[in-house]
Amino acid sequence: MKKLIVFILLLANSFSFACGFYPYGEDIRMRFLDSNHFNCQSFDGFHYSANYYYDAASLTEQMVIQPNDKLWFEYCNGKVTIDAIIEAVYKIPSQSFNQKNGNKMIQFLYQQKDLEAINYLKFAKSCEIANMFYSDPWERTETVEIKIIRNKVKDALKFAEKTKNEELKLRYKFLAIRLAFYGGLEQDVIAIYNTISNKNPNSINYWCMHFRAIVEQDKSLQNFFTSQVFANATDKRFPIYSFYDKEIPINDVLKHAKTKVEKANVYAFAATKKYDKSLNYIKKAFELNPKSDFNIFILLREINKIEDWVFTPYYTNFNPSISGNDYWNEERIFSYKALQKRINNDRKYANEVLNFLNFINLNNVQIEVCKAQLSFITQKYNSSLKIVNSLEKKLSLNDSLFNDIQIIKALNLTARQSKNKALITNEVQSVLLKNKKNKKFLFAIARELEYLGNTTDAAFLFSKINDSNDGYGYGMVWKSRKHKRGSYRDYFYDYFGYVDILYSPKQLEDIINKARVAKNDSEFDKWLKTRMVSEKSGLYDLLGTKYIRQNNLYKALESFKKVDEKYWNDYYSNWNINSNGSNSFDKNPFFAFKHTPDFITNKETFYVTKVSYTQKLIEYLNKANNSKEKNRDYYYFIAANGYKNMTINGNSWMMRRYSVSSYDLEPFPEDEAEFQNGFLAKKYYRLAYKHSKAKKFKALCLWLAEDYKKLKRVQEDEYYYLSDKNCYAFEEYFNSRK
Amino acid sequence: MKKMLFLGLLSVFLFSCKNENKIENVERAFYYWKASDWRLEQKSDSILKSTETKKLYIKFFEVEHNELMGNIPFSKNRMRIYDTIIEIIPTVFIKNEVFLKSSFKELDLLADNINFLINKYKSEDFDKGVKVKEFQMDCDWTIKSKDNYFYFLKKLKSISSKKISCTLRLYPYKYRDKMGIPPVDKVTLMCYNLLNPLESPKQNSILDVEELSKYLSGVSKYPLHIDIALPIYSWMQLYQNNKFQNVMYSNHEYLIKNMKKIDELWYEVTEDVQVEDNYIRIGDKIKYEQVTRETIEKAITLLKKNIDFDSTTTVTLFHLDDAPLQKYTNEEINSIYTSFSK
């Protein structure tokens, strides 16, 4: 019971970042083989997971018949339903056990004149009060011995002696052991256990062994008991799991095993407790007990482990999910090189596991699926596809594993293509359509395409993963290999942010070209393109922004012009110069600065959008660069204002960015230096200075160009005046032009 | 002749002086009976300081008998005490059934357990400098449980090596022959809850002076040192359809606005109102039992008249809690203590 609290606490620990979300543990783990599809559901809860316990449906939810109910069913020769058994055993109080009771099990037992069973059930119910630890109310010890328990233990043993039925005998002894356990009578537990024969053990034997294990002081013996209970008693797996000391050498534990099956259980359980490579134990388990379900379970754990070690970093650039979460640590240096080294090593280990499976050559479909996946992990694509091919003939379409091998097939078909020639083949398309909700799968295909140079289809697939219309929230998160430092914001969660930072304008153009509805679009194309098509304006906006970053104003304008009017309103309504409120984005970027009083009185008024901004910038620069223009200084000046307001401190930073924060990290968009420092603005202020004749205006140009040294040198008095008055002097200085 | 006259006058003088026994040195104390607070509330803390009260009887826990587990503690109080000026007397309330159902062996264990648990809480919750010289046991023993209770008290004394005191109700005070004298160093006479609250509609069950006087008068000096405990709380008993429902210890000023007086101690509710978990309806009856200053003064006078106090005696007020204390000023509290010395 107490372990349950520990388990809950540890499970809760994975959600402990109350101040915000950072992907961690199970959020980022990559996995393709689904343990639910294999024949080891009774091990649910223990499959590989970043959490302390795998988030699993309980055995009762799985509609599995509990071992105790099964035993009673067999005791009643199958003549009583499980429901009747459950009611009689767990719900009906002992006072109601009589011939008139309507419960079918009770009626059956009376009909059979099986008073022994009736008396057993009544006695068992009277023991329920002692079926738990009582903490010492006087706080002297952790638990306290209840006086009546000793008497109850004696009674149970007395009944065991008198009863003729062997199963009931064993049940009485189990009750005695359990009573003694909760009563703190550890020596009695051992003594009673030693009177039990474990020749043909059933669940009751293992329930007894469960308590026997807990009270054992010798750790190697305890480990032995624990592994046997875990292997055999499905309903005791949780309670017994933690009674195992990993420090005890396995050979010491094996000394207690008498049969091959017992030894196999020792190895198999030891394998579940390992976070690192378990192949050696897995080999032994297979060797000693080849057909056991326990083997499939530990094999699957191992493969999920390898998937995490290889695919989590390979696809997401996060460390494997069971690594610690140190996002607090801003000094953490991210290095894909280091990750890559480990990935390669772990692929080699996957190969070792594959070789082993090839060697044992068991005719088992589940193992074949594992081999197919391991082949993919080791990048033996054709080999993997061969296995998949043969499995397709063996598995029925309804088999849950059939879909798993389709996924493996699709991954292989995609990954084995040549660089710059990779496509989403027709076969892969149909698998993608069937597995639309499998975000990890979609993501993996996208990344494989991206690594092979098909950044367009990759982006389209990314757009299908975190589609908020799905209602699934963050489907995938990932980092780029260009990340340098760690931070709580160092990951991508949607295609747009990724394309924004990492795609060139050309790559984005390719996406835009594809993002159109064509007459001959297949079902797959339609599905693939939905989001991009509907967000096309956003793509054009992004393209224009990328050109702005490159200072390619004409190209930028061309892109911006393709954006739907509605989009400007929806996303940039702050730009409406008629809007009121304290929002600083309602200023005209050529004629006003943030936190600065108005200083340019004669200004053009126009509805500011990215289109008009770019148009006007081009216009002003053209005028400024025209040697015949009389007011070149003026035009350079306001163009410079336009560039200045595009920097991080400006009122129109959204010309260059979709968000801005002091925590922004590498990789940055290509214009980061300009965005931080405003070099272009300074260049144009200097040109304004050069072409101006008005003294004060010239001083203002140098001031805004932050050329303080020069200003102090050429106009010292203006320097001091501006130092004193700063933006309050701008109006005076600007108007001195006239 | 003159000598005889002188002696006669002297004895008259002495006898007349015996009418009022004042306490030369009153040791001021409070009972603290709550189970849920971590430390003293504001008003309580301020009263202690302003009245210069240096003793606090704190209920550490209560004890009852359980079929499965034997004698067990409950209602544990884990209050932190940092003030080293105050002397703390850990108090344990023990249900009478414990002494009716336990063997001597179990009572040995009980004494050991109580000693252990008190010391455990002391070391965990109190500042090292806090003084604990005495334990007080509180039990309403009966004739049947007397022997076991007294056995237990002796055992506790020998195990703890502390001064042991116990509470003394007025019944065993008066009928000490049949109820016995507990084997303790001293007793605290509980001058409140003299009547069953549900059985005496016309009298104040917390403190009725007439009832008090019945117990005090005509009784010889008690063979042990006597300290006194007096009440400074009040309560409202809620009766709905003439059936007792609940006691309310606070919100009296708020409730009074919704009641009209129908008798000396009784009120009838005039407005539906909710107080804590009680939904009080029009027509419900409330018995409001208060302990007024006058009542206390009368009780003190009676006590001084009938009890031969030692020169240093502890006067303890029940109980230290912000809610009931709101009704008294610091001066009024002070005056309770000083009245004993006048």
- pLDDT for A681 equals 97
Q: Which residues of A touch B116 (CB under 8 A)?
A: 138, 140
Confidence of residue B35 (pLDDT cuts 50, 70, 90): confident
Tell me if A562 sits within 8 A of A540, measured CB to CB: yes
Interface A:B, Cβ pairs < 8 A:
22
Q: With an 8 Å Cβ cutoff, are A138 and B69 in contact?
A: no
CA-nearest residue to A145 within chain B is B69
Confidence of residue A257 (pLDDT cuts 50, 70, 90): very high
What whole-number distance in Å separates Cα of residue A362 and Cα of residue A282?
14
CB nearest A139 (choices: B69, B70, B120)? B120
A619-622 CB contacts, 8 Å cutoff, 24+ apart: A620/A590, A621/A553
Q: Which residues of B touch A137 (CB under 8 A)?
A: 69, 72-74
CA-nearest residue to A135 within chain B is B69
- pLDDT for A326 equals 59
pLDDT at residue A59 is higher than 80: no
Encode pLDDT of A379-404 as tens digits: 999 999 999 999 999 999 989 899 99
Q: Which residues of B touch A129 (CB under 8 A)?
A: 68
Confidence of residue A217 (pLDDT cuts 50, 70, 90): very high
A133 close to B (CB below 8 A): no
CA-nearest residue to A148 within chain B is B68
- pLDDT for B225 equals 96
pLDDT at residue A579 is higher than 60: no
Pairing of strands B87-94, B70-74: unpaired
Q: With an 8 Å Cβ cutoff, are B74 and A137 in contact?
A: yes
Task: Please spell the DSSP secondary structure of A23-87, one letter per residue.
Answer: --GGGT----S-GGGSS-GGGTT-SS-SSSS-----TTTTTPPPHHHHHHHHHTTT-S-HHHHHI
Paired strand residues for B313 = B26
Lowest mean pLDDT among A110-114, A413-417, A490-494: A490-494
pLDDT at residue B82 is higher than 90: no
Confidence of residue A16 (pLDDT cuts 50, 70, 90): very low
- pLDDT for A572 equals 66
Tell me if B247 sits within 8 A of B235, measured CB to CB: yes
pLDDT at residue A201 is higher than 50: yes
3-state helix, strand, coil in chain A (%, to 5): 60, 0, 40
pLDDT at residue A465 is higher than 80: yes
Tell me if A324 sits within 8 A of A16, measured CB to CB: no
A145 close to B (CB below 8 A): no
Tell which wins on pLDDT, B50 or B227: B227
- pLDDT for A5 equals 45
Nearest of A278, A316, A277, A276 to residue A295 by alpha carbon: A278
Encode pLDDT of A318-327 as tens digits: 888 877 665 5
Tell me if A480 sits within 8 A of A498, measured CB to CB: yes
Encode pLDDT of A684-714 as tens digits: 999 999 999 999 999 999 999 999 999 999 9
- pLDDT for B19 equals 56
- pLDDT for A19 equals 52
Greatest pairwise CA separation for chain B in angstroms? 78
Q: With an 8 Å Cβ cutoff, are A137 and B72 in contact?
A: yes
Q: Which residues of A touch B72 (CB under 8 A)?
A: 137-138
For residue A187, the distance in angstroms to the closest alpha carbon of chain B comes to 22
- pLDDT for A331 equals 61
B116 close to A (CB below 8 A): yes
Q: Which residues of A touch B105 (CB under 8 A)?
A: none
**Residues A277-288, mean pLDDT to the nearest whole number:** 96
- pLDDT for A590 equals 93
Handedness of CA A677, A683, A685, A690 (dihedral sign): positive
Nearest of B109, B106, B128 to residue B117 by alpha carbon: B109
Q: With an 8 Å Cβ cutoff, are A146 and B69 in contact?
A: yes
pLDDT at residue B10 is higher than 70: no
CA B171 to each of CA B194, B211, B332: distance values in angstroms, whole numbers, following the listed order: 9, 11, 29
Tell me if B77 sits within 8 A of B59, measured CB to CB: yes
Q: With an 8 Å Cβ cutoff, are B69 and A139 in contact?
A: no
For residue A147, the distance in angstroms to the closest alpha carbon of chain B comes to 7
Question: Residue A534, CB half-sphere, CA atoms under 13 Å: how many?
Answer: 9
Q: Which residues of B touch A138 (CB under 8 A)?
A: 72-73, 113, 116-117
- Cβ-based burial of A386 (10 A; exposed 0-12, middle 13-18, buried ≥19): middle
| Three-class DSSP labels, B241-273 | CCEEEEEECCCHHHHHCCEEECCCCEEEECCCE
Task: Please spell the DSSP secondary structure of A559-620, one letter per residue.
Answer: HHHTS-HHHHHHHHGGG-TT--SS-GGGS-TTT--TT------S-------HHHHHHHHHHH
B78 close to A (CB below 8 A): no
CA-nearest residue to B113 within chain A is A138
| Residue numbers of A between 147 and 176 with CB closer than 8 Å to B | 147-148
Q: Which residues of B touch A144 (CB under 8 A)?
A: 69
Portion of chain B with pLDDT greater than 70, in percent: 94
Rounded to 10 deg, the angle between the A293-311 and A279-288 helix axes is 160
Confidence of residue B71 (pLDDT cuts 50, 70, 90): very high
Q: Which of A138, A141, A144 to mutate to test the interface with B (most CBs of B within 10 A)?
A: A138
**Residues B16-20, mean pLDDT to the nearest whole number:** 55
Q: Which residues of A touch B74 (CB under 8 A)?
A: 137
What whole-number distance in Å separates Cα of residue A632 and Cα of residue A624?
4
Across the beta sheet with B259-261, what order do the strands follow?
Answer: B243-248, B235-240, B285-289, B266-269, B259-261
- pLDDT for A366 equals 94
Answer whether 0.90 is exceeded by the pTM: no
- pLDDT for A17 equals 35
For residue B98, the distance in angstroms to the closest alpha carbon of chain A comes to 15
pLDDT at residue A64 is higher than 90: no
Q: With an 8 Å Cβ cutoff, are B69 and A134 in contact?
A: yes
Q: Which residues of A touch B73 (CB under 8 A)?
A: 137-138
Residue A328: CB atoms within 10 Å: 12
What whole-number distance in Å separates Cα of residue A636 and Cα of residue A617?
10
Confidence of residue A6 (pLDDT cuts 50, 70, 90): very low
- pLDDT for A62 equals 61
Q: With an 8 Å Cβ cutoff, are A138 and B70 in contact?
A: no
- pLDDT for B135 equals 98
What whole-number distance in Å separates Cα of residue A396 and Cα of residue A399?
5
Q: With an 8 Å Cβ cutoff, are A139 and B74 in contact?
A: no
- pLDDT for B142 equals 96
Q: Which of B62, B69, B77, B116 to mutate to test the interface with A (most CBs of A within 10 A)?
A: B69
Q: Which residues of A touch B120 (CB under 8 A)?
A: 139
- pLDDT for A573 equals 55
* Residues in CB range of A542: below 8 A, 6 or more apart: A496, A499, A500, A508
Q: With an 8 Å Cβ cutoff, are B68 and A139 in contact?
A: no
CA A601 to each of CA A636, A686, A689, A691: distance values in angstroms, whole numbers, following the listed order: 17, 22, 20, 21
pLDDT at residue A8 is higher than 60: no
CA-nearest residue to B112 within chain A is A138
**Residues A337-350, mean pLDDT to the nearest whole number:** 93
Q: Which residues of B touch A134 (CB under 8 A)?
A: 68-69
* Residues in CB range of A666: below 8 A, 6 or more apart: A482, A483, A484, A485
Q: Which residues of B touch A150 (CB under 8 A)?
A: none
B183 close to A (CB below 8 A): no
Q: With an 8 Å Cβ cutoff, are A140 and B113 in contact?
A: yes
Show the CA angle centred on residue B5, arms to residues B2 and B9, nearest 5°.
140
Encode pLDDT of B141-193 as tens digits: 999 999 999 999 999 999 999 999 999 999 999 999 999 999 999 999 999 98
Token duo for residue A278: 């378990």
Q: With an 8 Å Cβ cutoff, are B68 and A144 in contact?
A: no
Tell me if A237 sits within 8 A of A46, measured CB to CB: yes
Question: Residue A580, CB half-sphere, CA atoms under 13 Å: how many?
Answer: 0
Tell me if A688 sits within 8 A of A641, measured CB to CB: no
B14 close to A (CB below 8 A): no
3-state helix, strand, coil in chain B (%, to 5): 35, 30, 35
A137 close to B (CB below 8 A): yes
Confidence of residue A499 (pLDDT cuts 50, 70, 90): very high
- pLDDT for A10 equals 40
pLDDT at residue A564 is higher than 60: yes
Q: Which residue in the block uniquely carries the two structure tokens 């024949």?
A: A39
Residue A81: CB atoms within 10 Å: 13
Question: Residue A203, CB half-sphere, CA atoms under 13 Å: how many?
Answer: 15
Tell which wins on pLDDT, B107 or A4: B107
Distance of CA A155 to the CA centre of its chain: 54
Portion of chain A with pLDDT greater than 70, in percent: 89
A630 close to B (CB below 8 A): no
A159-164 CB contacts, 8 Å cutoff, 24+ apart: A159/A119, A159/A120, A159/A123, A163/A116, A163/A120, A164/A116
| Three-class DSSP labels, A633-670 | HHHHHHHHHHHHCCCCCCCCHHHCCCCCCCCCCCCCCC
- pLDDT for B276 equals 79
Tell me if A183 sits within 8 A of A130, measured CB to CB: yes
Q: Which residue in the block uniquely carries the two structure tokens 């022959």?
A: B177
Pairing of strands B285-289, B225-231: unpaired
Encode pLDDT of A588-610 as tens digits: 899 989 888 888 887 887 778 88
- pLDDT for A659 equals 81
CB nearest B68 (choices: A138, A139, A148)? A148
pLDDT at residue A24 is higher than 60: yes
- pLDDT for A145 equals 66
SS3 A730: helix
Encode pLDDT of A618-649 as tens digits: 999 999 999 999 999 999 999 999 999 999 98
Q: Which residues of A touch B69 (CB under 8 A)?
A: 134, 137, 144, 146
Nearest of A359, A371, A375, A364 to residue A283 by alpha carbon: A359
Q: With an 8 Å Cβ cutoff, are B117 and A139 in contact?
A: yes
Buried b (16+ CB within 10 A) or exposed e, A658-670: beeeeebbeeebe
